[in-house]
Amino acid sequence: MSESPFTCVLDARASLGECPTWSVAEQALYWVDIHAPSLNRYDPAVGSNHAMPMPSSIGCFGLRARGGFVVALRDGVWLADASGRLERRMAGAPYDPHHHRFNDGRVDARGRFWVGTMNERRDAPSGALYRLDGERLTRVLGDVTVSNGLAWSPDGRTMYHADTPAHVVRAYDFDAGSGTPARPRELARWRGETDRPDGAAVDRDGCYWVAFFRGGKVLRIDPNGRVLREIAVPAMCPTMPAFGGPDLRTLYVTSARADRPDDELARFPRSGGIFAMTVDVPGLPEPLCDA
């Protein structure tokens, strides 16, 4: 880990940092601490972070074209203004909130918000992936335990999705018009206990960057499933990468420190922080939600 090219740019000590999303318009990184719970705005120009408290677990969010956010809270999907104040619930939670919650999600190129769910008990594949259609959640994929790793190829023809406890990332043909994935196939599968694919992002060349929760690394994988690069992160639980900076060549990675053993936190004291490094191939701007 001492040779990691990542540096900690925000020692946030987040319980469960997730969903980093770069705002091109603001040149700022938004992210969530699921357990705090809070939606955060990190300004790399001055190194400051502003937390916007949420009333319940926030799995993910999307930036709205008209300003503000669409946020996935434990009790449903909400619209929020630019200050993080909730305005209106768009859709209720499609699960029992006592043991399920929303998890990974993002906006597609057509401005639709997608959000996955997870079984917190992890005792059954009862999670799913949903698409927000107006004020209704449409179930698109099911039979997963922890929905994660959602991303699209630069041409929008391939959708990627992971089930973390199953150690697998799948690729789908994607119909952008209808928002429908088809013809699933394995992009990659791992066997190791710590090889747990979490959040992901795709670069301009179509390569899939994925964080490994409990694995202390991020991988760059080409569209054929070949691992091109493996990079250590100074935290055992990186959660999701995102491209940012003026040229989208800064790779940010969020991380977690909740429930980590004391000896691990002693070795990786900035667990829960946001890490960054410069990459050769830039990412793509995150689309804005039409909601």
Residues 79-105 as b/e (b if ≥16 CB within 10 A, e otherwise) read bbeeebeeeeebbebbbebeebbbbbb
Domain that holds residue 21: 7-278
Catalytic residue chosen out of the listed positions 104, 108, 163, 198: 198
Q: What is the pLDDT of residues 62-77, one digit of tens each?
A: 999 999 999 999 999 9
In a domain, 28, yes or no: yes
In a domain, 157, yes or no: yes
Q: Which helix (H) or strand (E) holds 132?
A: strand 127-133
**Total domains present in the chain:** 1
In a domain, 289, yes or no: no
- 3 band by pLDDT with thresholds 50, 70 and 90: confident
| CATH number of the domain where residue 173 is located | 2.120.10.30
Alpha-carbon gap, residue 143 to 116, rounded angstroms? 11
Query: Of 123, 156, 159, which Cα lies nearest the Cα of 141?
Result: 159
In a domain, 287, yes or no: no
In a domain, 51, yes or no: yes
In a domain, 53, yes or no: yes
- Residues 6 or more apart whose CB falls under 8 angstroms from that of 72 comprise 58, 59, 60, 61, 78, 102, 105, 115
| 207 within 8 A of 219, measured Cβ to Cβ | no
Active site residue 133: no
Mean pLDDT of 39-61: 98
Q: Residue 173, SS3?
A: strand
In a domain, 93, yes or no: yes
Q: What is the pLDDT of residue 2?
A: 54
Distances (CA, A) of 283 to 37, 73, 203: 28, 27, 4
Rounded percentage of the chain residues whose pLDDT exceeds 70: 99
Mean confidence (pLDDT) of the chain: 97
Alpha-carbon gap, residue 228 to 234, rounded angstroms? 20
Query: Does this model's pTM top 0.85?
Result: yes
Q: Which residues pair with 70 in a beta bridge?
A: 62, 79
Count of beta carbons in the 10 Å neighbourhood of residue 209: 26
Q: What is the pLDDT of residue 48?
A: 97
In a domain, 272, yes or no: yes
